[in-house]
Structure 1
Amino acid sequence: MPRWSERADRAPLLAFTDSCLRGIGQILFANNPLSGLLILCGIFAASPWLGVATLVGVVSSTATAHLLALDRSRIRAGLYGYNGALVGGALATFLLPAWSPSLLLYAVVASAMSTFVMVAVSLVLVDQFHLPPLTLPFNLVTLPCLLVSFTTTHLQRSPMLVRHVEGPINTVLRESASGVAGSQAGALLEAVLRGVGQIVFADVPLAGVLILLGLLVWSRIGALFALVGSVVGLLVGMLLGGDGHDAYHGLWGYNGMVAAEALAGVFLVWDWRTALYGVTGAAASTGLYAGLAALFGPLGLPALTLPFCLATLVFLALKNASPVFRAVPLPKVTSPEEHLRLLRSPLSAPPHGMENRDEERERRGLR
C-alpha cells in the first residue's frame, strides 16, 4: 500500500499507527497495514487481554526504535515491531495475573528490549551472513522473561508453564478434542486453523481464518503456503505419533506454517522447487519442534518459534551455495507475487547475446 504509506507519512501519529500495524503483519512477513489489522482482529477474537498485550508490545518496541533513531524505512516497514508484538502476546499467554499493572509494565520493558536484541542479531545475521533475523529476538527475550516467573511472586506462571514429565501419550486427535469437534474431519480442520492462529498465541479457529484473510490481502501465495505449512505440521505430528491434545490445539502446526511461507516465496523466488523446499522446511521445523519441546518440557518452557528460526536459517543458508534457488536480497523483500513480477519484467531479461543472466537480475534486485 505505497500510496497509503505516503499519505500516512504526512501525519506523525498516523505514520506511527501504520508502522505498528505493519509490525503485526510482519509476524507473518506481511508488510501491509490492512493485513496487520486483520491479524490483530484475529488476536482479539481469541482474547481481549491477548490483543491488548500484543498492542502494548508492538507500540513499545516501535517507540523504542524511534527513540534510538534507528533506520526510518525499517521502522515504517514494521521490522522493529513484530518481535515486540510477539513478546507481549507470549507474556500475556504464559504469565499471570491478567490485566495486572505489573505484568503490563513487564511487557513494556521486555518488548522494548526486543528492539535492542533485534539490532544486535541483525548485525550478525544480516550484515555478516545476509540472513534474516526472523523471530530470534523474540525467543531470546521471551525465554529468560518466562524463567523469571520461577523465582518471583508478583509474576506468576500460568498452568501452561508446567514442568512436563514423561508419561503416556494419547495420539487420538478427536478424543483429545474432548468432543468439541463433531467429527474427525471437523477436528482436523480446527487443528489446521488453530495451527495458523498459534503463531500469535490465538487458540481459536476464527483467529486462523482472520489471519489467512489478512495474508490474502498481502499475497495469495503467502496465504496458500501458510495454510499448507500448518497442514504439513499437523500431518508430521500425527505421523510421528505426537500428543493428540497438542495437535488439536495447533502446537504442531505453527512452526511449519511460517517456515513454508518463508521458503516458498518470501526469501526465495517462488517456483516449483521452492514450493517443495517450503514443504520440506515445514516438515523439518515440525520435527525440530518435537525435539525442542522434549528438551524444554522438563524446564517448564515452551519451544516458541525457535524450531522455525533454526530450521529456516539452515535452509536459507543453502541459497548461497546452490544455483538452484533464486534468493531475494533482504532489502528488497516484498511479496512472492512482486518478486515474480520483477523477475519477469523486461529489465530482468538478458540483452541479446548475453549468456549470463545473474548480472542483469542483480540490477533488478533478484538473484
Structure 2
Amino acid sequence: MLRLPRHVSAVLNGFSQIFLQAHPLCGLLIALAIALHTPALLAGALAGALAGTFGAAALGRSRADIDCGLYGYNSALLGVLIVLQLGLSAFSLGLIACAALLIDPLQTRLLAGLRERQWLPGFTLPFVLLGWLVLTLLPAPTGTPASVAPIDAQALAFAIATGIGQVIFLDQPLAGLLVLVAVWLADRRAARWLLAGSAAGLGIDLLFGAAHGPILAGLAGYNPALAALAVSQVQRSAWAPLLAIVAAVLARLAFDRLGLPPLTMPFILACWLVALAARRVRRQPENA
C-alpha cells in the first residue's frame, strides 16, 4: 500500500472524519466528490482542512489527533459553507483560516472533556456553532426555487443518494454515490447504515407529508444518515441506529418549525440521546 506523507494523510483524514472515518483513500474520494460537484467548494474545504490541521500542529495539539484528522473536518465543513455563502475569493479564504483558528480551542476542549470527564462526543458541534454565526452574519442571496420533479422510483433513489451528499452540501446524486463508495472502502457496515439512514429519513418525511422539494433535494436524509452511521460505530444492536434515525428526523422537523437552519445539529442531538440512553441502561444493573 502506498504510504503517504504524514501531513497529507492527516489532511485527507480530515475529509474522511466528516463521516467518522480515519481513512486517507476515503478522504480523497470525498474530496473528489466535492471537486466534481463544484471545484470552488473543494478550494474552501481544502483551505479549511489545511488551516485546521496545520494550525493544530503549530499550537502543539496531540499528534495522534492531528494525524487522525480530528482537527480538519470541522474546518473543512465550514470552508464549504463559507464559499457557498460568499463565493471563492481571497476574503473568503482568509475568513476560513480565521474560522479554523476559532474552531481549534473548542475542538481541543471537547476532546479533552470526552476523554477526561466522559462528556458526550462533540462531533460537528464546532462547525454548527460557527456555521450558525456565518449564516447570521453572511446570508447568501436567495436563488430561484428549483422546479420539483414528480415522485417516482428514480427520483426517490436519486434523493437517497443526494441525502448522503448533502452532508457536505452537495446536491447531486452522483456526488452522494461517490461519497457512499468512499465510506464503503473505509467501513462497509458504516456505509450500509449511512445509506439506510438517508433512505429512512426520506421515508419518514414522506409519511409525515413533508414538502417534496426538500425531500428530493436530499435535505431529509443527511442528518439521519450521519446519525445512523455514528451510532452504528459504537452500538452493535440495530435498534440504536434506528432510534438515532428517528430522533434525527424529529429534531430536524423541530428546527424547521422554529425556522432555524439545522446544519448537522439534529445528528448531534440524536447521537447524544442514544448515548445518554445507553449510559442509563448500563447503570441499571449497578443500581439493582
TM-score over 0.5 for the alignment?
A: yes
Two-structure CA RMSD over aligned residues (Å): 2.0
**C-alpha displacement of 1:129:** 2.3
> Would you say 1:122 and 2:90 are equivalent positions?
no
CA contact (8 A) 1:236 1:287 kept: no
The match for 2:178 is 210
Letter paired with 1:245: G
**C-alpha displacement of 1:108:** 1.5
Find the structure with the greater CA-based Rg: 1
Match of 1:315 among 263, 266, 274: 274
The match for 1:83 is 74
**C-alpha displacement of 1:283:** 1.6
TM (normalized to structure 2)? 0.92
**C-alpha displacement of 1:52:** 1.0
> Would you say 1:190 and 2:181 are equivalent positions?
no
Unaligned segments of structure 1, at least 5 residues: 9-13, 150-155, 163-175, 325-367
**C-alpha displacement of 1:101:** 1.3
CA distance in 2, matches of 1:123, 1:295: 32
CA contact (8 A) 1:19 1:62 kept: yes
The match for 2:238 is 275
Letter paired with 2:108: V
CA distance in 2, matches of 1:121, 1:237: 32
**C-alpha displacement of 1:109:** 1.0
CA distance in 2, matches of 1:313, 1:189: 29
What secondary structure, in the 3-state scheme, does the structure 2 residue paired with 1:321 have?
Answer: helix
The match for 2:257 is 294
**C-alpha displacement of 1:294:** 2.5
Q: Which has the higher helix share?
A: 2
> Would you say 1:140 and 2:129 are equivalent positions?
yes
Letter paired with 2:270: A
Letter paired with 1:141: L
> Would you say 1:244 and 2:207 are equivalent positions?
no
The match for 2:168 is 200
Unaligned segments of structure 2, at least 5 residues: 284-288
- 1:205-261 deviation per Cα after TM superposition (whole angstroms, max 9, x unaligned): 111111111011111101000000000111111111112111000111000001001
CA contact (8 A) 1:86 1:138 kept: yes
The match for 1:58 is 49
Letter paired with 2:35: F
- 1:46-105 deviation per Cα after TM superposition (whole angstroms, max 9, x unaligned): 211111111111111111110111000010010111111111011122x12x22211121
CA distance in 1, matches of 2:66, 2:259: 33
> Would you say 1:178 and 2:169 are equivalent positions?
no
> Would you say 1:22 and 2:13 are equivalent positions?
yes
**C-alpha displacement of 1:130:** 4.4
CA distance in 2, matches of 1:16, 1:147: 33
The more displaced of 234-243 and 124-133 is: 124-133
**C-alpha displacement of 1:289:** 0.5
**C-alpha displacement of 1:125:** 4.0
CA distance in 2, matches of 1:323, 1:197: 35
The match for 1:166 is none
Letter paired with 1:293: D
Letter paired with 1:148: L
TM (normalized to structure 1)? 0.73
**C-alpha displacement of 1:126:** 4.1
CA distance in 2, matches of 1:25, 1:205: 19
Sequence identity, in percent?
Answer: 30
CA contact (8 A) 2:243 2:274 kept: no
What secondary structure, in the 3-state scheme, does the structure 1 residue paired with 2:117 have?
Answer: helix
> Would you say 1:233 and 2:201 are equivalent positions?
yes
What secondary structure, in the 3-state scheme, does the structure 2 residue paired with 1:141 have?
Answer: helix
CA distance in 2, matches of 1:205, 1:259: 20
